[in-house]
Every structure is written in C-alpha cells, then in structure tokens.
A and B are shown apart, each in its own frame.
Chain A
Amino acid sequence: MDSGLDIDQATITGFSTGDEKAFQQVFDLLFRPLCFFAGKFTGQKEEAEDAVSQAFHKLWIHRAGFNALPAIRTFLYTTVKNHCLDLLKHKAVVDHAHHNIRISQLNADSFAESRMMQAQLLQVIFAEIEHLPAHYRDVLMLSFVEELSVAEIAARINKSENHVRADRSRGLALLRASLKNKKLLEAALLLWTLYEQGYFHR
C-alpha cells in the first residue's frame, strides 16, 4: 500500500528515461502538496513555488536514478526542505549581517516531518471534495477556491445566507464521513482517478 497515490510503473520508466509527459504527470501529482509544504517554511506563495520548481529541476537532472514514486517523493520533499532552510538562513544572514543566526536543524526536521505528513493527508482529503453531493461541493469550492463571501454565494446559488453557512459546515462534515469507510488504498485509487480526469490539472 502506498501513501495516498501511486503512478504506474510504465510512467516511472518513462520518467527516468526523460519522457517529458511522464515527468509532467509526476509534477502534477506532487505539485500542490509540495507547494503547501514549502509555504509552511516561506510563508509566501511565490517563494514556495520557486522552491518547488527548483526541486523539480533537480529531479529532472537526477531523473535517471529513480525507479519508484516513494523515492521521488522523498527526494522532492528533502530538496524543497533544504532549499527553504537555505533561504531562511540567507535571510537571517542578511538581516543580521554576519551574526550567526542558527536555525536549529533539529527543530527544522521535526517541523518538516510534521508538515510533510500534513501535506500528504490534505491531498487525500481535498481530493474527496469532488465526490461530495453536488451542492455541498459547489458551496465548498465557491467559498474556498473562488473566495466568495457567504452573502455572495447565497446570491449566486439563490439561497439564504444561513443556508449557505449550514451547507458549508455540513459539507466539511460529509467530507470526513465520506472518507470514513474508505480504506486508504481506495482513497489512493480515487485520487489517481481524479488525477487522470484532470482534477489536479491547471
């Protein structure tokens, strides 16, 4: 059983021999969790995306050395983590002009492991939103992705604000419930299906 998602072996083989399409599949799969992870260090969207694009660049350089998704994932998270720590270190150097600001590596690592776990869990959780009953899903997506206020959503779907609020809460509760009786492997397959359907694409 793998952690949330998998890619078929043919894709991995294509990946390591430099097939750009296969490489892009890996990118699409891991892009959001990695950005989210990087964002926990940088606190800043563009820096997080920078860290991730650079990690994928490194992965591209070393692509021939990988033959399984878990190794690719560990490599990417590690690279993003190191990049972010370097970034923070440079900021510290710059801010304090040569006084040694030490980012505790110990804390950084425990922090990184926590956030990596969070990113991977969120990926399974958020993938499930697609499977909610339509109106719950719509309320959630309008609310979080399009960032509409409760009033705006109410106007858009022609319902009362209280109704929208209730649906939003209920949508999240349903989300959890719908994952309840799924084994993780199923969730993984589901995620893969969604991915294939283009849910994670741009």
Chain B
Amino acid sequence: MPARLFVALVSLALVSLALAPSVWAAGGGGENNLFAGDLGNILWTLVIFGLVLFVLGKFAWGPILQNLQQRETFIHDALAKAKGDRDAAEAKLAEYEGILNEARAEATAIVEEGRRDAQVLRAKIEETARTEADKTLERAKREIDIATETAKKELYTVSGELATRIASKIVRRELADADHQRLIDESISEIQQLGTN
C-alpha cells in the first residue's frame, strides 16, 4: 500500500507541474489583453478576501451559524416535547377510558345484582304468601268441616228429640222402650239419609 501511495503522490506532483505553465500561459499578451493582470491582483484578492473571511466569520457568520444551530435545537426540542406531551396525553386518555369502562361495568354489575336480588326476593315473598294462603285456606276448610260436623250432630240430636216429641204427641200413646229406641234410630237414619241426599 505505501508503494501505491508513493506512486500516487509523485504522479500528482508531476502532472501538476506539467500542466501549470499551460494554465498560467493564458495570462500573457498585448495591450488589449483580456487576461491582463499580475501577482498584485492575486495578493490583493487574497488579502481582501482573507479579511472579509475573518471579519465576517467572527462578527457575522458566527452569530448567524450559532443562531441557526440554536434555532434548530430549539425547534427540535419543542417538537420532541410536543410529541412527548401528546404521548402522555394519549396514555392518560387511555387510562381514563379504562377507568370509565371499569366504572361502567361495575355499575352494570351492581344494577344486575340488584335486579337479581329483587327477583329472588319477589319469588320468595310470593312463595311465602302462597304457602300462607294455602295454609289459611286449609285451616278454614278444616274448621268449616268441623263446624259442619258439629252442626250436623247437633241437628241430628235435636231433630231426634223433636221427632220423638212430635211422634208422642201424634200417636198419643206410650210406646214400649224398645219401640221407642227403635223409632229414634230409624228417624235418625232417615234424617241422615236426607242430609246426605
């Protein structure tokens, strides 16, 4: 590699030297020479341009470049901050939406539970009421039956006595004890038959 480097450097130098006169030769000529000029122009150009470069570089381009760089940084930072803020806001929004959804679900669950409890309670109350009513009805029926039975018994007894008394009055004769009893029994069974019919 150093050999190639050396060849390159030497060739560069040689070619530059070979071409230099042809470039500078353009400067020669007569009075109306468009290429008129000399070292003076070169030196003045170097001095003035050098001064311009130095003074403007220090007092104009420096501040402008600094300004441009600061502005770039400022804009970059502002954009980055805006992006950060937006991301944070989006995250917050998502968080709040989650919370809201949770709350909504919870509310729905509470309402649902309330409805379910109410249904259960209603069913229970209905059941209790029905049972109670049935019991009451049953008891009433039983009481009615008992009362009916008692009334019937009382009716038979009274009817028997009445019949006996009426029959005694009608027949106007003393019946034998056996007849008497038989008559009463017969009357009772007749009345019972009538009662059942």
Genuine A/B complex: no
Interface residues of A (CB under 8 A from B): none
Interface residues of B (CB under 8 A from A): none
